[in-house]
């Protein structure tokens, strides 16, 4: 495991809150509202914001479904990482983007809980990052027809187990949006 050294900064990671990804997502409007509020607070606190955007055959680049939801507006100065795998670190420049900004702590939001969120929080943690998951700022669609639990259960379970994640020299936490203090992450 490589631990990022001399990286005192934090970043708000906004993963795949794209029109086609969250169109049928559980509690979509509340989650997007929470992320929008976190964006404002992170920017006001001088915390970096890093955007992640997925594309694949079902979500082609430049399509309407591929676009971020209109409620969330990326500033041109905020990095955008394009990915094709669930883990936002796999085959992307995310690690380099974070290193260039001295980021060692991630605050994670977005979609989908049971795919890209889980993959990325685990990917970050094993790469040595401290990872805070915002418990009410991630979501997923209902995949229960395929045998998955209902979305609320997927989200609750992810929040439950992530708060107990441990490893040497790293921290994992879950906090709700209103309780997140960017000066403490």
Task: For 37-92, write each residue's pLDDT tens digit.
Answer: 999 999 999 999 999 999 999 999 999 999 999 999 999 999 999 999 999 999 99
Number of Cβ atoms within 10 Å of the Cβ of 146: 6
| Cα–chain center distance at 47 | 15
- What is d(CA 81, CA 180) in angstroms, rounded to the nearest whole number? 24
Global pTM value: 0.97
Q: Give yes or no for a contact between 120 and 88, defined as CB atoms under 8 angstroms apart.
A: yes
pLDDT at 51: 98
pLDDT digits 0-9 by tens, 126-166:
999 999 999 999 999 999 999 999 999 999 999 999 999 99
Residues 101, 8: Cα–Cα separation, whole Å: 9
The secondary structure of 88-156 as a DSSP string is TTTTSSHHHHHHHTTEEEEEEEEE-IIIIIHHHHHHHHHTT-EEEEEEEEEE-B--GGGTPPPHHHHHH
pLDDT surpassing 70 at residue 1: no
Per DSSP, the three-state class of 59 is: strand
Q: What is the pLDDT of residue 119?
A: 98
Confidence of residue 184 (pLDDT cuts 50, 70, 90): confident
DSSP code of residue 184? G
User: What pLDDT, on a 0 to 100 scale, did the predictor assign at position 6?
Assistant: 82
């Amino acid at each position: 495991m490589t631990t990022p050294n001399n990286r005192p900064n934090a970043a708000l990671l906004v993963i795949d809150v794209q029109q086609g990804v969250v169109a049928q997502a559980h509690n979509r409007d509340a989650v997007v509202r929470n992320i929008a509020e976190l964006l404002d607070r992170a920017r006001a606190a001088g915390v970096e914001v890093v955007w992640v955007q997925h594309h694949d055959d079902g979500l082609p680049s430049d399509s309407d479904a591929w676009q971020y939801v209109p409620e969330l507006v990326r500033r041109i100065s905020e990095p955008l990482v394009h990915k094709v795998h669930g883990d936002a670190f796999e085959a992307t420049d995310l690690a380099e983007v974070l290193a260039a900004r001295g980021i060692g702590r991630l605050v994670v939001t977005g979609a989908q809980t049971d795919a890209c969120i889980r993959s990325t929080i685990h990917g970050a943690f094993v790469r040595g990052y401290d990872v805070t998951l915002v418990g009410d700022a991630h979501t997923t669609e209902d995949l229960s027809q395929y045998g998955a639990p209902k979305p609320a259960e997927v989200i609750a379970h992810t929040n439950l187990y992530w708060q107990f994640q441990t490893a040497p020299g790293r921290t994992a936490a879950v906090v709700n949006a209103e309780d997140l203090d960017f000066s403490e992450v």
